[in-house]
Amino acid sequence: MPPVPETIEDTGLSPEALADLVLKTLYVQGARTGQQLVDVIKRPFPCVDSRLLDLQQRRLLEVRGTTGSGSAGYRYALTDGGRDRARQYLDISQYVGAARAKGMPRRTVVAKHAFRNAGVQVLTMSGWEITRALAGFTVVVEKVFAWPGLGSTIVQSIIAKDYPVVQGIVLVYGVGVLLVNLVVDVALALLDPRSTIRES
């Protein structure tokens, strides 16, 4: 079993990351005592206490009473500036900071949390760009590089009024777009199971 961290450096977090976590916790859960914050953040009280003092000095949180002796019993609440700062931190990252604070290695945090969620947007946009390129840019690429292909064939067929060839090429493009969308949807379901459609 690893030793209990005594200082902020022992936790593997920067002082600012721990302060961000305190602000996020108070923003989501409301006013809490020092001991309640320690129970949620899972870090020793001396580490959290130093961040609480720093946040008080920066006027991001304030003491709103006490439930016991010492700073562990102080009831902390966010100031207006603290709420604004917590909202900024939540906009940046709602889940990765908490995963890192639990002591997960950086590689695990990036692979399991950050990559999976960022991958959804990348995959969605990639599918959209591929279908756009498939249906729209082939004519330009074929003309620039003098490659024979469906783009120049469809242009020649439209000029020659060869409608069966035009219909066939449009059908091929349509099937290509559907296949790319299908692959993207299946990949999204594997990457993020929350994105699947469920029957109610």
The structure tokens 């604070």 sit at: 101
List the beta bridge partners of residue 78: 61
Give helix then strand counts, H and E, for the chain.
11, 3
Strands 32-33 and 74-78: what pairing? antiparallel
pLDDT at 162: 94
CATH 3.10.129.10 assigned to domain 8-103? The reply is no
Which letter does DSSP use for residue 200 in this model? -
The structure tokens 């390129």 sit at: 133
Residues 6+ apart with CB under 8 A from 124: 184, 188
Strands 61-66 and 74-78: what pairing? antiparallel
pLDDT at 103: 63
Enumerate the domain spans of the chain. 8-103, 107-195
pLDDT at 104: 67
Distance, in Å, from the CA atom of 148 to the CA atom of 162, rounded to the nearest integer, reads: 18
| pLDDT tens track, the chain, 200 positions | 666 666 767 767 777 888 888 888 888 888 888 888 888 877 778 878 888 888 888 998 888 888 877 778 888 888 888 888 888 877 766 556 556 556 667 677 667 766 766 777 788 888 888 888 877 777 788 888 888 888 888 889 999 999 999 999 999 989 988 999 899 888 888 877 666 665 55
Distance, in Å, from the CA atom of 163 to the CA atom of 171, rounded to the nearest integer, reads: 12
List the beta bridge partners of residue 76: 32, 63
pLDDT at 33: 87
* pLDDT tens-digit map of 35-86: 888 888 777 788 788 888 888 889 988 888 888 777 788 888 888 888 888 8
The phi-psi region of residue 59 (left if phi > 0; otherwise alpha if psi is between -120 and 50; otherwise beta) is left
Distance, in Å, from the CA atom of 113 to the CA atom of 99, rounded to the nearest integer, reads: 8
Distance, in Å, from the CA atom of 21 to the CA atom of 78, rounded to the nearest integer, reads: 13
pLDDT at 74: 86
- Taking the CB of residue 74, how many other CB atoms lie within 10 A of it? 22
pLDDT at 197: 62
| SS3 state of residue 37 | helix
